[in-house]
Amino acid sequence: MDISTAYKDNNYKIHVARDILRDRLETYTGRYESVYYIIDENVYDIYKETKLSFIKSPLVVTGGESFKYVSPLMHTMEELLASGIKRNSLIVVIGGGATGDAGGFIASIVLRGVDYIHVPTTLLAHDSAIGGKTAINSEHGKNLIGAFYRPKAVIYDLEFLDSLPESEVLSGFGEVYKHAMLNSPGLFEELVQATSDSIDVSMLPPFIIKGIETKMKIVLEDEHESGSRKFLNLGHTLAHAVEYKYKIPHGQAVMLGIIAALYISNELNGTDFNLDEHIGYMSRHGYPVNLLREMDTGEMMQLMMKDKKNHRNDYISYIVFKDKQTLEVKDINTANLEKILKALKERI
């Protein structure tokens, strides 16, 4: 399945299917003088003799989040320059969201910008197929240095997902769950039905595609994150604090954050989300829901208040449901929010 972006200009295709990497890449690489591959080392180790055997002399980079720092980035850029990269070269970035973010940032700055293609290899990275955000981390926080820079294409070869560890499947699925909720109650219901016994990655492609389309619709409405794009942060306000404190994968924390957002929506907006169903589903599939019972609400508040994106004076901006289908950004007084989180702890 091919999805085309619908920006005003600089559009690109997102190719999503199994076993498409080599064929699809060939339709792009011929246009360039030279092609450079930046590949997550864990991915390269698994696929170097199979799917990736056609790649000669790749730049194999440190796997995952540890690549999103200036020093490994600089090293890779020096290597690219040493091997003669030109403005008319193509960079192909193969890895999860972290490699995609850092590789995309390299493409945006080396020689003041060369074309790049992202090949996502995790379930979570369906989220970065759209939106054009590239970033690395600072000692002051995650994703604080970066650029908006769109790829020339995204080639999402779903065969890579076969080797994904269980905890990364659960993490990526957190964003699939979020996108289904943002899409419609109907799609969400379908997703829950399809995964009621287990999260089988082979069942997910239709939902991954819907997730990408949902994010695209929201991003198109608001590319620079002043209005509705904030809705993509559903579940993220508490998630960032939980993720930081308990060191669990991002998408797993998002799942816990979604429970909190639904509870807050019920409390403050009178929605009637069935919390027990969500909690039961998540516990059954192995999400660490118990952390919501054990969390230190004071510490969570401190961490949320440090996040300048959502903190202003005595208020925290929280993404909640106004009704079953409509989201809103609600400024919640910090004392009130802490009271609600304490009540949620009792409720779990």
Please say whether the dihedral angle defined by the alpha carbons of residues 204, 209, 210 and 216, taken in this order, is positive or negative: positive
Give the CA count within 13 Å in the CB-facing half-sphere of 230: 15
Binders in 268-297 for ligand NAD, by CB under 6 A:
none
Q: For residue 72, give the H/E element and its range.
A: helix 70-82
**Residue 160: helix, strand or coil by DSSP?**
helix
Which residue number, 220 or 348, has a Cβ lying nearer to ligand NAD? 220
Tokens linked to 307: 């996040």
Burial zone of 227 (CB within 10 Å; 0-12 exposed, 13-18 middle, 19+ buried): exposed
Residues 217-256 within binding reach of ligand NAD (CB under 6 A): 250
Site string for ligand NAD, 249-268 (x = CB under 6 A): -x------------------
Rank residues 25 and 98 by Cβ distance to ligand NAD and give the closer one.
Answer: 98
**Part in contact with ligand NAD (CB under 6 A); list of ranges 123-131, 149-157, 192-200, 274-282:** 123-131
Nearest to 132 by CA among 75, 66, 71, 215: 215
- 96 lines the binding site for ligand NAD (CB under 6 A): yes
Q: How far is the CB of 187 from ligand NAD (least distance, A)?
A: 20
CB of 139 to ligand NAD, least distance (A): 16
Q: How far is the CB of 70 from ligand NAD (least distance, A)?
A: 15
Is 168 a binder of ligand NAD (CB under 6 A)? Answer: yes
Q: Which of 248, 188, 247, 243 is nearest to 214 (CA)?
A: 188
Q: Residue 255 — φ and ψ, nearest 5°? A: -60, -45
Interface contacts to ligand NAD, rule CB under 6 A: 40, 42-43, 46, 63-65, 68, 95-99, 101, 121-122, 124-125, 127-128, 131, 133, 143, 160, 163-164, 168, 171, 250
